Chains A and B, each alone.
Chain A
Amino acid sequence: MKKQIENILRESTIKTFEDICFIYQVPELKDDQKKLTLEAAAEVKFRGNYTGKLMIETRGGLFSAIAANMLSNEVPSIQQKKDALGEVANIICGNVVPSLGRSEPEYKIESPTCLNTDDVLKEYKKLKPLAEVSLNFNQGRADIKLFVNNYSVTKEK
């Protein structure tokens, strides 16, 4: 089940980047790309049958590239970059949460928020994601993590 959720997380992320951001995945992370500094992060919380959150982190210039492509603006403002990253997180979350397994899922997705990178580095280190993917693009790298509270396969039908 966890593998299935991870596959859906990966596919949703790839499709969102392609269709909305016109940003396409390239093969495997190179060693130097694995060490890129965190530049921005956004989270989307959800509640319902399960509660949790989805977080997206960007590195290597992807933060600017997302907004630039979505808005066709070569120099997006910081607010535009935050809004664009939040919207990407929102779309991915909306596509992934139904896969958590309840036969009739009921959930509410909250508005996305951009996170302080220092908080991300401190707080999220303590949490273990249910699923996570890292994707590499020419414009940088994205790491997406899905955290679900009290998730248990045995609760599912």
Chain B
Amino acid sequence: MALNTLVVDDSSVMRSIIIKTLKLSGLPLGEIWEAKNGEEGLRVLQDKWIDLALVDIHMPVMDGEEMLTRLRENNQYENLPVIVVSSESEPSKIEKMLKLGATFIHKPFTPEILKDVIIAVTGVSNEETD
């Protein structure tokens, strides 16, 4: 199963790092799409088939919390695996994202952590990563 992946972060550098990590992970990847805020991310989701979204919290125009809230209001995306990748440390903010069905990875992260979490949330089997 090839994962069509959406990376949402206002930092072009962080998007590049995440994409580089994805490509080096050995995970079965399909298309990778980028967005620099939640609003753009939702537009990509309308147009493309996405299997996994990696989303920052703090972004201009529309932040990650609002994006995820709107996403879950749409039945089509209620089960979309979402990984929040953020330097946010405040427990109540993290809790909000978890309640919206996201998994949380704290920045800074190692490539191994990102890969392990993606495997856990998408159900990609280890055999596929060999």
Contact = CB atoms under 8 A, between A and B. Distances in A.
Contacts of B107: 16, 20, 91, 94-95
Contact of B13 (A18, A87, A105, A108): A87
Contact of A90 (B87, B89, B109): B87
A16 B60 CA distance: 23
Contact of B10 (A91, A93, A107, A111): A111
B40 interface: no
A71 interface: yes
A71 to B, nearest CB: 5
Q: By DSSP majority rule, is chain B's interface helix, strand, loop, or mixed?
A: loop
B90 A105 contact: yes
B10 A72 contact: no
Contacts of B60: 111
Contacts of B109: 19-20
Contacts of A18: 108
A90 B58 CA distance: 10
A18 B109 CA distance: 9
Given A15-B108, A91-B107, A71 B87 contact: no
Nearest to B9: A87
Contact of A98 (B14, B20, B89, B110): B89
A100 B121 CA distance: 33
Given A15-B108, A20-B17, A98 B11 contact: no
Given A19-B110, A94-B107, A70 B17 contact: yes
A104 B12 contact: no
B108 A16 contact: yes
Nearest to B92: A104
Q: How large is the interface on A (under 10, 10 to 19, 20 to 34, 35 or more residues)?
A: 20 to 34
Given A16-B108, A19-B110, A91-B108, A98 B90 contact: yes
A104 B90 CA distance: 8
Contacts of A97: 89
A86 B9 CA distance: 14
B10 A87 contact: no
A87 B14 contact: yes
Interface string A78-92: 001001101100110
B17 A91 contact: no
A87 B88 contact: no
B86 interface: yes
Contacts of A20: 17, 107-109
B122 interface: no
A20 B114 CA distance: 12
Contacts of A70: 13, 16-17
Nearest to A99: B89
